[in-house]
Amino acid sequence: MPTARRQISQKLIADEAGVSQATVSLVLSGRNVSSDNTRKRILEAAERLKYRPNLLVQGIQTGKTKMIGVMMPPYDFFWSEILYGIHDVLAAADHVPIMLWTSHRGPSPRKRNAPDGNELEQIHRLIDRRVDGVILWPPFASLFSDHVHEFSSRELPIVTIDHELPAEFRADFVGSEDHVGGRLVADYLLSLGHRRFGHIAGSSVATWAVQRRQSFDETVARIPNAKFKTLEAPPGDDYTLAIEQARALLALPDRPTAIFAATDLYAKQVYRAAAELGLRVPQDLSVVGYADDDFAEEMWPALTTVRQPAYEMGRKAAEIVLGRSTGKLSQKVPIKARLPVQLITRESAAAPPPSSGNGNGRAKSKSP
Amino acid sequence: MPTARRQISQKLIADEAGVSQATVSLVLSGRNVSSDNTRKRILEAAERLKYRPNLLVQGIQTGKTKMIGVMMPPYDFFWSEILYGIHDVLAAADHVPIMLWTSHRGPSPRKRNAPDGNELEQIHRLIDRRVDGVILWPPFASLFSDHVHEFSSRELPIVTIDHELPAEFRADFVGSEDHVGGRLVADYLLSLGHRRFGHIAGSSVATWAVQRRQSFDETVARIPNAKFKTLEAPPGDDYTLAIEQARALLALPDRPTAIFAATDLYAKQVYRAAAELGLRVPQDLSVVGYADDDFAEEMWPALTTVRQPAYEMGRKAAEIVLGRSTGKLSQKVPIKARLPVQLITRESAAAPPPSSGNGNGRAKSKSP
DNA sequence: TTGTAGGCGTTATCAC
DNA sequence: GTGATAACGCCTACAA
């Protein structure tokens, strides 16, 4: 009968097997080719006692906790997919994610996405538990980069997703080809005959947003008679703002015939604003989103959008933190991984209405 | 210049402040009203050195890691809401969730939800890190209840959501009024005039499914001339099966005029099956879902469904584990918390078609 | 191959 | 109030 509420330790196994605790440690960790005899006794005792190693102790001993801080909420389909990717890679490597975030809720009318002022505390919760590295989602990385110094000053591996941190942080990055995505959309809309564009760009401090915007704008700007109007959002809650921006774009004197929304969530708001004005998508207004969220193909009409390989992005991010943590990834200069994107053509974009006074369909698009 | 790669410890602070390490411990943990003098010196030194406590050590000392195992994926909107609830309560209590699960992906055509055979390993990852308690989602709790013994035998607090474990596990439970939800749906459909029902019930081993089914069936069975056909799913992947079940129900000789889907996901499949047959919802077929997932109101037509207070359920679950872990919750008998549900009436249910040969609208529903 | 002993960064129990 | 000193459970030389 073991004393009181004591854990089942290697010491216990040692006693059972008649060896020293050190030997148990060696055998259980497989670092030692002990004699088959003692080895067997130890293994059996461990089995019998249902021994389980204490990774806390291992952590303070080895400096590795096999825990990764993941500051990212299950915000929507896209981010959940990324979480799946992270999870799978970590689990396969015998690591676990500690998932934290700093806003109370997610998107959709029922949710909010406001910072709650506890960013520093959350960071400290990770540091105090000595995670081996962290993965950060864009709003956090962009809004609270000061706090991120808490990580970098302790030389914790950092990977950001969809937002590049300044070089001083020495953070790795995983994203998708945002600089390609904007161009894909622009080319597509131009080829349909559109010449007046609106763009709901998202936060001006988020690199994913900036790059989508730039590549879109640049591509459109090359066409002589094309016009475009871009609306940015201030850092912070951009979702509720999107509906107002959509209304603003549609109220323009020279109303755009196509709107590029930098996320599918924004696109949804564009649909609403269009409906308010009795504009039909795509007959009166073409809309293109970004991300290929799960609801995109069920929107009505189904949303044309740019698909990012979310699950793979999550995997990649996890692989990088693990690589940094274990030292297997030695490349000094921060990694900037960009996975390929793909235009998913559905039903929300078509040729502009004939009366629109600019481009009017593929056939005539070359004769201004 | 501190030696090598040593952590900033209480010992260091002690040296800086000219006191013993023990005193530092007392002051930092606020367990002691030291003289204002030393207290100040210690606090300043800690600040200067950017000291951060090591919760790993604290964990092996106190037996509390302030980490909660959350075996639940960001499966969809509903489960993400629950995760938000859990997260918020844990964070407020200075705890963190370790989120793990055992299937590779979630729902939707792009996802799967099959067990991956790593359930035991995942459980051990939590135990090895000495979490203070665990929260389990239904598929896990119902499919792998054997493994759950790993927790209960170590007397770890267990809270299951939406699925009640047998008494031997001494597990607490949080759910919603599934026994009310089924009745709400039945009453509503009956009042519309329906008399022939189909029910896609989900797994027969999940208590949420069983209770929704029972309360639905019982309510319908009270009506003399009402018929109903219920299809269950075997344990495991029920999502891909739902479309087939929907087809089967609609192929019945006496085709149901209303189908109650035990989840919104199933309801979506019913829409598909109906579309395949050219049946219109709700004119030819009424459909009611369950959960009020985020896509429910955007389905076409908008889905009538039963809303569960997901976020609150998550909060409740976290409050219970915390209560158990800290001992503040002393009630011996397992808690069974059921939060209220609410019928959300939208557009997917209406009176049955006149030609349906059974009930035909509210007006005549009382004269058979 | 196996045992001894020191240390990891705390908390906890005593004395002083 | 404060300081030794012993745990906590394990890893890691270093010895034997």
Which tens digits make up the pLDDT trace of A278-324? Answer: 999 999 999 999 999 988 988 889 999 999 999 999 999 999 999 99
Cross-chain CB nearest to A56 (options B65, B126, B298): B65
Chain A positions touching B300 (Cβ under 8 A) are 300
Chain A positions touching B99 (Cβ under 8 A) are 83, 87, 97-99
Per-residue buried b or exposed e for B149-187, using 16+ beta carbons within 10 Å of the residue's own CB: ebbbeeebbbbbbbbbbeeebebbbbbbbbbbbbbbbbe
Instruction: Give A54→chain B minimum CA distance, Å.
Output: 5
Question: What local confidence, expressed as pLDDT, does residue A281 receive?
Answer: 97
Instruction: Give B300→chain A minimum CA distance, Å.
Output: 8
Opening angle at CA A60, ends A54 and A66, nearest 5: 65
Question: What local confidence, expressed as pLDDT, does residue A42 receive?
Answer: 94
Question: What local confidence, expressed as pLDDT, does residue A355 receive?
Answer: 75
Question: What local confidence, expressed as pLDDT, does residue B45 receive?
Answer: 94
Average pLDDT of B339-353? Answer: 98
Instruction: Provide CB contacts within 8 A for B185, sequence distance 6+.
Output: B216, B260, B288, B290, B306, B343
Question: Three-class SS of residue A18?
Answer: coil
The candidate with the shortest Cα–Cα distance to B180, out of B309, B72, B282, is B309
Q: Is residue B182 predicted with pLDDT exceeding 50?
A: yes
**CB atoms B100 and A96 under 8 Å:** yes
Nucleotides, chain C, CB distance < 7 Å: 1-5, 7-13
Q: Nucleotide D7: nearest residue by CA–C1'?
A: B61
Let me know: does B181 contact B341? Beta carbons within 8 Å.
yes
Question: What local confidence, expressed as pLDDT, does residue A362 receive?
Answer: 40
Low-confidence ranges of chain A (pLDDT < 70): 1-5, 32-34, 103-116, 236-238, 356-368
Question: What local confidence, expressed as pLDDT, does residue A4 receive?
Answer: 40
Question: What local confidence, expressed as pLDDT, does residue B118 receive?
Answer: 87
Question: What local confidence, expressed as pLDDT, does residue A356 receive?
Answer: 67
Let me know: does B274 contact B284? Beta carbons within 8 Å.
yes
Cα A282 versus chain centre, distance: 30
Let me know: does A9 contact A15? Beta carbons within 8 Å.
no
Cross-chain CB nearest to B87 (options A101, A110, A124): A101
Nucleotides, chain D, CB distance < 7 Å: 1-5, 7-13
Chain A positions touching B65 (Cβ under 8 A) are 56, 129
Q: Is residue B217 predicted with pLDDT exceeding 50?
A: yes
Q: Among all residues of chain B, which has the CA nearest to that of A126?
A: B96
Cross-chain CB nearest to B129 (options A56, A101, A125): A56
Question: What local confidence, expressed as pLDDT, does residue A110 receive?
Answer: 47
Average pLDDT of B216-233? Answer: 93
Task: Report how far residue A164's alpha carbon sits from residue A174's, in angstroms, rounded to the nearest whole number.
Answer: 8
At B129-139, the pLDDT tens digits run: 999 999 999 88
Question: What local confidence, expressed as pLDDT, does residue A239 receive?
Answer: 72
Task: Report how far residue B73's alpha carbon sits from residue B108's, in angstroms, rounded to the nearest whole number.
Answer: 14
**CB atoms A67 and B124 under 8 Å:** no
The candidate with the shortest Cα–Cα distance to B138, out of B165, B163, B118, B119, is B163
The candidate with the shortest Cα–Cα distance to B43, out of B19, B74, B61, is B19
Question: What local confidence, expressed as pLDDT, does residue B211 receive?
Answer: 95
Instruction: Give B132→chain A minimum CA distance, Å.
Output: 13
Give the distance, in angstroms, between residue A134 CA and nucleotide C11 C1': 29
Q: How far is CA B303 from CA A241, A348, B283, in A?
A: 27, 23, 14
- pLDDT band of B103, cuts 50, 70, 90: low
At B146-161, the pLDDT tens digits run: 899 999 999 999 999 9
**CB atoms B294 and A110 under 8 Å:** yes
Length of chain A: 368
Q: What is the DSSP string of A89-136?
A: HHHHTT-EEEEE-SBS--SSTT----B-S-HHHHHHHHHHTT-SEEEE
Q: Which residue has the higher pLDDT, A15 or B361?
A: A15
Task: Report how far residue B113's alpha carbon sits from residue B101's, in angstroms, rounded to the nearest whole number.
Answer: 11
Chain B positions touching A129 (Cβ under 8 A) are 55-56, 65, 67, 96
At B281-305, the pLDDT tens digits run: 999 999 999 999 988 988 889 999 9
Question: What local confidence, expressed as pLDDT, does residue B300 receive?
Answer: 87
* Mean pLDDT computed over every residue of chain B: 90
Query: Which nucleotide has its C1' atom closest to residue A60's CA?
Result: C8
Query: Which nucleotide has its C1' atom closest to residue A11's CA?
Result: D9
**CB atoms B87 and A97 under 8 Å:** no
Query: Which nucleotide has its C1' atom closest to residue B24's CA?
Result: D2
| Phi then psi dihedrals of residue A150, to 5 deg | -55, -35
Let me know: does A298 contact A311? Beta carbons within 8 Å.
no
The candidate with the shortest Cα–Cα distance to B361, out of B183, B199, B190, is B190
**CB atoms A55 and B84 under 8 Å:** no
**CB atoms B80 and A299 under 8 Å:** no
At B2-48, the pLDDT tens digits run: 334 578 999 999 999 999 999 999 999 887 766 788 899 999 999 99
Task: Report how far residue B27's alpha carbon sits from residue A275's, in angstroms, rounded to the nearest whole number.
Answer: 62
